[in-house]
Structure 1
C-alpha cells in the first residue's frame, strides 16, 4: 500500500502550485494552443530530476481533487477509463487506473457499493508503488518514458478528465450510502465475471452458473436448455421482486447502470441493448458522444440485462463476420451497409424472441405457475396482484427516466441492405440466449 509522503521542505508547496498552474493551462487551452500549453507545462514539471519526487507526490495529491471532482459530477471509475480508452493511448489508460487507485485510498471498502467495488476489481485498480515520492519514477520505468514524456501524458489525461461535463448520476458516490448498491454501475460487459460474485443476489448467482454451464457444453441442445432456464429464472426473479414490493418488503426504487457501446455500428448495438432491456422491463438512454448507454430499471433486472446483452452481442458479431464481405455489381464495397442492416435486423428479431419469452413467463406466473430458484416448478394460487404490480414497476421506471433525462430525443437507424437484413434475422433465430465474456470487435 502506498503512503502519503511528508513535505521535505518549502519546495513541496511550490511544486503543488507549479502543478496546478500547468494543469490549468492545459485544461483551458484551445485546440490551436494545446501543443504549446502541453510543452510548457511538461517542461516545468520535468525540469529537475531532484524535484521529481516532489512532483510525484503532488500528482497523487492532485488526483484526489481531479478524480473526486469527476465522482461529484456523476462519473464512475469505468466511465473515466472508457473516456481514456476511446480518446487516448494505452499509456494514458494505465496512468488513469493508477490515479483512480490513488484516490481510492480515501474510501474504505464499506463506503463503496457492490458494483463500484466490482468495477475497481475489473480495472485492477491497486496501489503498487512503495511511496508517493517513488510513483512517477516507477511508472516511467514500467512504460519506458522519460520525465518530459510522462509529464505530457499526465497533462493530456488531466485535460481529458478536466473537460468532462456533469452527467446524470447512476448511484451514490464513495461514502454516500453503500446500501444503495442497486443503483450504480458502469462496466465493460466483456469483463463481467462468469462465476458467483460475493454480495450479489443468490438468484443472480444461479443464473450466472447456468450461463457458464451453457458456454462450456459442446452440445447445442443442452446449451439452449440451460440458457432457456436462465432466462426463465431472470423473468421469475423480476416477478418475485414485484410481488415483494406490493407487500412492502422491497424498499428499492429503480436504479441504473452504464454499459459501453462503441463503434463501429454503435446504433444497431444500442438497438440490441434496448431490445434486451425492454424485454426485462428496463429502459435505455444512449449517450453517443461518450460511448455508453444508461440502463434504467429495478435491480432484479439490471445485471441480467448486461449478461444477456453481452452474450448476444458476441454472437451477433461472430455471425456477422462469418457472413463475410459484400460488393456491388460494379465491385464497390457494400460491407458497411450489409453489416449495419444485419445488426439492425438481428436486434429486431431478438426483441421479438425475448418479448415472447417474457410474456410466456408472466402469463404462467399470473396463472399461479411458479419457478423455484432450483429450477423446478410449483403450482400456486393465482395472484391477482401480479399484473398491477408489474405495471406499477414499469411506470416507476418511466418516471425515473423522465427524472434523470428530462430532454430525450429519438433517433432512427437506417436499413439500406436487404440481404443484410435477411441474414441478421436468420442469425438471431439461431442465437442462443446465453451469457458470454470476450472482447467485442466490429
Structure 2
C-alpha cells in the first residue's frame, strides 16, 4: 500500500448547484460552436468549485456535519495504474489525500480517497464523468507509428489526460477560494489540517510511491483531451 503526495455564504441556499452544473453541461452538448461549448464547460467547472467551497463554509458553521474519512474505490484493468492517477490527482485537486492499493504485475486494485465527506462526494462525481469521457476517446486512440504498442500509447494518453485535468481543477479550486469575503481561505486551511491529521493517524506507515512514468507517446494527445474535458459532473442523459 503506497501513497503519492497530493495531494461568505449568506445562509440562504439557491438552486441546487449540481442541477445547475448539469444544465450547463447539457447546453455545452447542444452548443452550436466550439467556443460556446467551452464557455459553458468553463462555467460548469467554476460552479463545481464554488459548490465545494460552499459546502466547506456550511460544515464550518455546523461542526461534525462533514466528517473526515476514507472511501475505497475498486479499479479494473485495462490501464488500472493510469486510472488510479486520474482518480488520485482529481482527489488531490479537491483537497483530499489518496492511497494506492497495489496488486500483482503493476496493477492497482483500488484507491482510497481520504478527506471530508463533501469533498469525497465531489471526487466520486468527477471521476465517474472523467473516466467515461476518457473511455470514449481511448477506444479511438491509435499511435501515429504503427510499430508502437497500442496499450503503451493509451496508458501514456491517460496519464496526460489526468495531468491536465489536475491542473485545471487545481486552478478552479484556487480561483473559488480567492473569492472575496467570508474567510474562505481560513476555513479551507483548517479543513486541510484536519484531513492531514486524520490521514496520518489512519496511515502512519505508508511508503511513498514512485512518480508515475510512461513509455508511450500519447501523453501530449491525452493532455490536449484533458484540456477540453468537462469538469462539472456527468451529463443528464436525454436532458431536455
Mapping for residues 209-248 of structure 1, pairs under 5 Å = 210-211=21-22, 214-215=25-26, 217-219=29-31, 224-247=38-61
Partner of 1:207 in structure 2?
Answer: 18
The answer as to 2:226 corresponding to 1:428 is yes
Q: Is the 8 A contact 2:60 2:187 kept in 1?
A: yes
Q: After TM superposition, which residue ranges in structure 1, 4 or more long, deviate above 6 angstroms?
A: none
RMSD: 2.8
Residue matched to 1:278: 92
Total equivalences in the alignment = 215
Aligned to 1:296: 114
Matched, 1:353 2:165: no
Give 1 or 2: higher helix fraction.
Answer: 1
Worse overlay, 233-242 or 340-349: 233-242
Contact 1:326–1:335 (CA under 8 A) maintained in structure 2: no
C-alpha spacing 1:211/1:408, structure 2 compared with 1 (3 Å): farther
Superimposed CA distance per residue, residues 256-276 of structure 1 (whole angstroms, 9 cap, x where no aligned partner): 322222111111111111221
Q: Give the deviation of 1:390 after TM superposition.
A: 0.9
TM-score (norm 1): 0.44
Provide TM-score, normalisation by structure 2: 0.76
Structure with higher RCO (Cα < 8 A, 6+ apart): 2
Structure 1 unaligned blocks of 5 or more: 1-201, 368-381, 438-442
Inter-partner Cα distance in structure 2 for 1:295 and 1:208:
24
Aligned residue for 1:263, secondary structure, equals coil
Residues 143, 218 of structure 2: 8 Å contact kept: no
Distance 1:321 1:230, change over 3 A: same
CA distance in 1, matches of 2:111, 2:19: 22
* Aligned partners of 1:312 and 1:434 also within 8 Å: no
| SS of corresponding position for 2:111 | strand
For 1:118-161, what per-residue CA distance to the aligned partner results, in whole angstroms no more than 9, with x for missing partners? xxxxxxxxxxxxxxxxxxxxxxxxxxxxxxxxxxxxxxxxxxxx
CA-CA distance at 1:314 after TM superposition: 1.6
CA distance in 2, matches of 1:410, 1:238: 28
- Quick one: structure 1 residues 430 and 229, their matched pair in 2 at CA, closer, same or farther if it must change by over 3 Å? closer
Contact 1:214 1:222 in 2 (8 A): no
Counterpart secondary structure, 1:322 = coil
**1:388 maps to what in 2?**
186
Greater strand percent: which structure? Answer: 2
Give the match's secondary structure for 1:292. Answer: strand
Bigger mean CA deviation after superposition, 261-270 or 426-435: 426-435
